[in-house]
Amino acid sequence: MTFFDLLHMFFSGTNLALIGAALAVILPCIGSAKGVGMVGEATAGVIAEDPTKFGKALILQALPGTQGIYGFITAFIAVIIKLNVLSGNFVTLTDAQGLFFLSACLPIAVVGYFSAIKQARVACAGVNILAKRPDQFIKGVISAALVETYAIFALLVSLLMILSFQL
């Protein structure tokens, strides 16, 4: 067996789809973990000064975590269920079909990663609003939620591509 045979065996169609599913989870979860951590660091000082602001600070901190959820939804519902992974009867995909699934996972994988970090930066600015003008805190939430829109678009593109694929 040659190196290229081993390479082709590893990068088979079904494995390419599973790599796409893994990327759909891993990258947005990394971005979400980093984002939630960034906002958590920013809220620590505010909560130390006024513990009653914890609930509002928690809302801002939770916002960047949604991209990880979107990646999980894409991988689990779309790819894992579509390929019958849980039943143990994997659907065998051609290389082209596997590449399609991998490509369909890329929008949420890439956009999910970057939007979580960008959303965290906006949420950190919202923490500043919470610290100085708590009555205006919802403006920080709305600003951070606008960044979320692009993660939702990427989720929809990934899901629509995967769910429209006929096996």
Q: Structural domain of residue 60, as residue ranges?
A: 10-164
Predicted local confidence at residue 10, as pLDDT: 76
Predicted local confidence at residue 166, as pLDDT: 84
Predicted local confidence at residue 4, as pLDDT: 67
Domain assignment present for 2: no
Predicted local confidence at residue 1, as pLDDT: 75
Domain assignment present for 85: yes
CATH number at 21 reads: 1.20.120.610
Q: For the packed helices 54-62 and 13-49, what is the interaxial angle rounded to 10 degrees?
A: 160
Instruction: Tally the domains of the chain.
Output: 1
Flag residues of the chain having pLDDT under 50: none
Domain assignment present for 67: yes
Domain assignment present for 99: yes
Counting DSSP H helices and E strands in the chain, the numbers are 7, 0
Domain assignment present for 103: yes
Which runs of consecutive H residues, i.e. helices, occur in 50-89?
54-62, 66-73, 81-82
Domain assignment present for 98: yes
